[in-house]
Each structure stands twice: as C-alpha cells, then as structure tokens.
Structure 1
Amino acid sequence: MSTTQSERLRELLEPLVRSQGLDLEEIAVDAIGRKRVLRVVVDSDEGADLDRIADVSRALSAKLDDSDAMGQGEYTLEVGTPGAERELKEHRHYVRATDRLVRFQLTEGAGSELTARILKVDDEGVDVEVPGVKGRKPTARRLAFADVVKARVQVEFNRKDKKDMKEEEEA
C-alpha cells in the first residue's frame, strides 16, 4: 500500500492521464510559504501541445476536487511537460530523444562524460553518434544502459532537422 502523498496521487491520477493518451512522468507536491503547489508533468511520444495540457489539467482538477487526496488546504495545480533539457530516466525517454543531442554521465569503466546524438534505442542500450572535433568526422558508439549514470537532453539552437541532415548525406 502507498505511504507517501505523491504515491497516492500517482495512483489516483495516472489512469486519468493515460486515458488522455499521455504518460504521467512526475508528480511533486511543494510547500511555498503557506500554499502548496501540485506539479504534474505529462508527455507522450508525439509530445503534448497546449490543448492537450489544458484538457488534462481540467480533468485532473475535477478528479482532485472529487477526492480528498490534497486535503482541505488550498493548493495550486500546475500541469506541464518535461521541458527542453529533460533528464532521461525511462526507456521511452530515450526513444523520444532519438535524433537529439544528449549529455551522458557514464560509469567509471565507460568513461566519465560524453555528449552525443542518439541514433537508435533498443532494450540493452543506445547507438549514438559522437560529433567530430576540429573537422573530424563523427564517430559511432554503443552505450549500454548499465553504463549510463545520468543522461540529459541538450538544447541546440542551430539544430538541423531530419530533412537537412538527409540532404547533407546525399550531397
């Protein structure tokens, strides 16, 4: 049986989030002064646009109003997505980050840190492309999930989309 408020909230809200076609990524209850904030992070393979966020927010609010999961005190509900520099924790996070640049913190035996683009994900790990330095060509590398301590998507301001990368390969 669940013991923490976050676990009870997850049990209550996750079926509702899934029914909206989204994954419940994170729940956090924070106290800010006398007020509490319930932060709910949702995502899907296709992403979550503002309309989907608004729909799930209304559904979650109604569900919370019908339960006593947050108690009697005031709270603010915030529903959002993981953001641009999301940490990759679950297999589905790595799949969603395919073609994205990711900073990997690796175990001692695998090296300490690596920034690379995820090319392919399977059950055992990821195939990545390490960008070339000083005019050198990028190199392929295989990372086992067991060797990844932490992974976080990196923001790319001049990121090429798949069409641009395909045109470069053909040239």
Structure 2
Amino acid sequence: MDITERIADLAAPAAEAAGLVLDGVEVHPGGKRSRVVVTVDLPETEVGSADLDSIADASRGIGKALDEADVMSGEYLLEVSTPGTSRPLTERRHFMRARTRLVVIDLVSGDQARGRLVEVSEDAVVLDGAAGEVTVPMANIARGEIELELKRIEED
C-alpha cells in the first residue's frame, strides 16, 4: 500500500465523522516538508456546498488520525478543501453533486450539451436547456463542467 492509499484509509473515517466523504488525496514531497492535499465533499445525495465548520472538523480529525498513525515521516503541511466548481465532471458521483447547477457537457462525438442538470440516473443525465429537457447517456459524455452563475434565478 502506498502512502496515498494509507492516508486515504485514515482520512475517510474522519471525513465521514464530519458528514463529508473523501474525494481524493495527493502527496507532494518537497524539501523538509511534504504537502498533503485531502479533498472532501458532501455525499453525492446532497445538493449545495460543504460548510466551513464541517471542513474544519474534517481537517482536525484527519490531522489527528495522520499524527496518531505517524504515517508521514518528517514534517508535513495538511490542506483539506473541497473540489470547487472547477472540478471536471467525469464520474456519475460528480454529476450527482452538480444537480441544480448549469453545466456544459462535452460529448464523445465532439458536440456539446448545455443546460441545468435536473436529474442523474445510473446511465444518463437530464438537462433542462433552451430546447427543453434532453437526456444524455453517460456513455456519450466525455466530460462536463459547471458554469459559474453569479446570480441564480430563484425557483418559484
């Protein structure tokens, strides 16, 4: 088991205790101090953003677990954050977390689909766009991106 997997095994329970899920771990060696980047997110069933208190709780729990296991030899800097809106949507769970958001999807064919992500099933996503609702099979999706909206229209 490499260091990244070991950290993931220790970080996942601490993230879950804070109501979050582990999204990824990166280790960047550097001089005297390595940088450990742990990405956490809300569970895929949730819509919205992780609050700072939950991220802080996860950070404390992850730091404690890493220190107790003495998994890092030497000093390290721990960064715990969320993926943010710039994360590419490449997996079903990414699309689940992006429900209600405006997205642009690059299709395998080279075309694009754009609209508000209203539904995600096991094998497709449904977008509400200019032409109405469109179902896009997961097999046809190369990747997607969330479009940043500075002002969201309130739902009735």
Same fold (TM over 0.5): yes
Matched residues in 2 for 1:61 and 1:31: separation? 17
- Matched residue SS, 2:12: helix
Question: In the alignment, which residue of structure 2 is the partner of 1:119?
Answer: 118
The amino acid that maps onto 2:67 is: D
What is the aligned partner in structure 1 of residue 132 from structure 2?
Answer: 139
Give distance in 2, aligned partners of 1:19 and 1:129: 35
Gaps of at least 5 residues in structure 2 are none
- Structure 1 equivalent of residue 5 of structure 2: 7
- d(CA) in 2 for partners of 1:130, 1:59: 42
2:70 corresponds to: 68
Q: How many residues align?
A: 152
Q: CA deviation at 1:33?
A: 4.9
Greater shift in the superposed pair: 60-69 or 9-18: 9-18
2: CA distance, partners of 1:99 / 1:48: 16
Contact 2:22 2:38 in 1 (8 A): yes
Change in Cα spacing, 1:130 to 1:32, as seen in structure 2 (3 Å) is farther
Q: State the alpha-carbon separation in 1 of the partners of residues 28 and 105 from structure 2.
A: 29
| 1:106 and 2:107 matched | yes
Report 1:43-58 matches (<5 A). Answer: 43-44=41-42, 45=46, 47-58=49-60
What RMSD over aligned residues (CA atoms) do the two structures have, in Å?
1.8
What do residues 9-29 of structure 1 show as CA deviations (whole Å, max 9, x unaligned)?
112221221232211011111
Indicate the structure whose relative CO is greater, using CA pairs within 8 Å and at least 6 residues apart. 2
Q: 1:88-125: CA deviations, max 9, x gaps? A: 233332122112111211112xx432322211111111
Is 1:150 the equivalent of 2:149? no
CA distance in 2, matches of 1:128, 1:75: 43
Q: Decide which of 20, 23, 28 is 2:21's aligned counterpart.
A: 23
Alignment of 1:68-87 (within 5 A): 68-71=70-73, 73-87=74-88
Q: Which runs of 5 or more residues in structure 1 are unaligned?
A: 132-137, 167-171
Identity value in percent: 34
Moved over 6 A (4+): none
CA gap of 1:64–1:160, structure 2 versus 1, over 3 A, is: same
User: Residue 61 of structure 2 corresponds to which residue in structure 1?
Assistant: 59
- 3-state DSSP of counterpart to 1:86: coil
- CA distance in structure 1 between the partners assigned to 2:69 and 2:5 by the alignment: 15
Deviation of 1:64 after TM superposition, in Å, equals: 0.8
1:135 corresponds in structure 2 to: none
* One of 10, 14, 38 as aligned partner of 1:40: 38
**Cα distance, 1:140 vs. partner?**
2.1
